[in-house]
Amino acid sequence: MIISPSLLACDFLNIESELLAFKDFKDTWFHLDIMDSHFVPNLTFGHPIVKLISKKTEIPLDAHFMVTNPEFYIDTFKDYNIHNFTFHIEATDNALELVRKAKKLYPSVGLSIKPKTPLNSITEELLAEIDLILIMSVEPGFGGQSFIEESYKRVEHFNKLKEKFPQLMIQVDGGVTNNNAANLKKSGANNLVAGSYIFKDGPSTYKEKLESLRR
Ligand code: DX5
Ligand code: ZN
């Protein structure tokens, strides 16, 4: 089980020490929520901040692009040592072409699906080529929202497809806490993103928070 702390919830004035606080923890990625205020109402951070973060940590960077024009970001984030590049199926009509393009530049490529988007929009043709499916368990745009219970079924759907596509990592993002992590794992998730839950009580609790999500 990989846990991806979402830096959206970290202390941005002390981001370097926030990054360092995780350096000894295994099976951890840093989740970066890139929002453009078009695909989602909110605006977060972009190129300069990600570039700085990439120079300060060895932990794999997991970038979640909530943007209307993923192609621009595929091209322009390639030098920031991003391990996994995820964009939204709802943001493009040519996902397969973009996945293929991203695969040439990033070790891992993911597609994300919003809570109300039909599951069959992620076709088997796409599943054959991606490394990760990001199942949104809240409407994208903001941290600190409540987990949508129907998400378990959506995780199970992709877990069944893993028989055919064993490479697929199943990531869940939004409202993840110690109250739903075990059930998500049971449903087939093997990568959990968590923002508020991990960061809200400060660095002395990070280790225990990560462990509580793996149980
Ligand atoms: C929401 C983002 C999430 C967010 C999760 O649009 O994609 O990654 O940071 O935050 P929590 O864990 O607080 O719901
Ligand atoms: Zn995210």
Atom of ligand 1 nearest to the CA of 177: 12
**Whose CA is closest to atom 4 on ligand 1?**
143
Best of 135, 142, 200 for a ligand 1 pocket test (most atoms within 8 Å of beta carbon): 142
Nearest ligand to residue 8 Cα = 1
Span from the CA of 99 to the centroid of ligand 2 (angstroms): 18
| Rounded Cα distance, 139 and 72, in Å | 23
Span from the CA of 134 to the centroid of ligand 2 (angstroms): 9
Q: What pLDDT sits at residue 209?
A: 98
**Taking the complete model, does pTM exceed 0.95, yes or no?**
yes
| Rounded Cα distance, 95 and 70, in Å | 10
Q: What pLDDT sits at residue 48?
A: 98
Q: Would you please indicate which residues are annotated as catalytic (active-site) residues?
A: 33, 173
**Whose CA is closest to atom 10 on ligand 1?**
143
CB 25 within 8 A of CB 49: no
Q: What pLDDT sits at residue 80?
A: 98
Q: What pLDDT sits at residue 162?
A: 97
Q: What pLDDT sits at residue 123?
A: 98
Q: What pLDDT sits at residue 199?
A: 98
Which residues of the chain, if any, have pLDDT below 70? none
Q: What pLDDT sits at residue 46?
A: 97
Question: Residue 5 class from Cβ within 10 Å (0-12 exposed, 13-18 middle, 19+ buried)?
Answer: buried
Atom of ligand 1 nearest to the CA of 64: 7
User: CA–CA distance from 118 to each of 50, 69, 99, 114, 122 (Å)?
Assistant: 31, 21, 19, 9, 8
Q: What pLDDT sits at residue 24?
A: 96
Span from the CA of 204 to the centroid of ligand 2 (angstroms): 23
Nearest ligand to residue 62 Cα = 2
Q: What pLDDT sits at residue 177?
A: 98
